[in-house]
Structure 1
């Protein structure tokens, strides 16, 4: 059984607790909020899916982002 490797949009390996930055404006499903390009999320949580990460935001709880829209800081 191999360990799951999670990569950001640039191919950098992401790990639990890393900080990531949004690389383009994203509309949030089920909310009127838009995440602006450059928004920083600290202390990310990896999910079972290697293409998704969980982030916490002041406005949105339990936010799940696709790794293709973030880069490691």
Structure 2
């Protein structure tokens, strides 16, 4: 089961918040601290979740997320 930075279990469709500024590989953009992300999707890896930012889908490590 994937867990956020505080140890809370993450489920399909949860809303999370980014706890650290993250550079997005392959683009010049940065995901700012405090950004809310809705409707996450779980992946086969326990420490990663998939989410949509704008029109692109990215994979984020759960250690940088906080469940809201």
Greater C-alpha radius of gyration: 1
Q: Which residue of 1 aligns with 2:61?
A: 66
Distance 2:45 2:3 in 1: 11
- One of 13, 17, 35 as aligned partner of 2:13: 17
- Structure 2 residue ranges without an equivalent (≥5): none
TM-score, with length taken from structure 1: 0.90
User: How many residues are matched?
Assistant: 68
- Structure 1 residue ranges without an equivalent (≥5): none
- Superposition CA RMSD, Å: 0.8
Distance 1:41 1:28 in 2: 15
Q: Which residue of 1 aligns with 2:22?
A: 26
Partner-residue secondary structure (3-state), 1:24: coil
TM-score, with length taken from structure 2: 0.97
Distance 1:33 1:61 in 2: 12
Distance 1:51 1:57 in 2: 19
Runs of 4+ in 1 over 6 A off after TM superposition: none
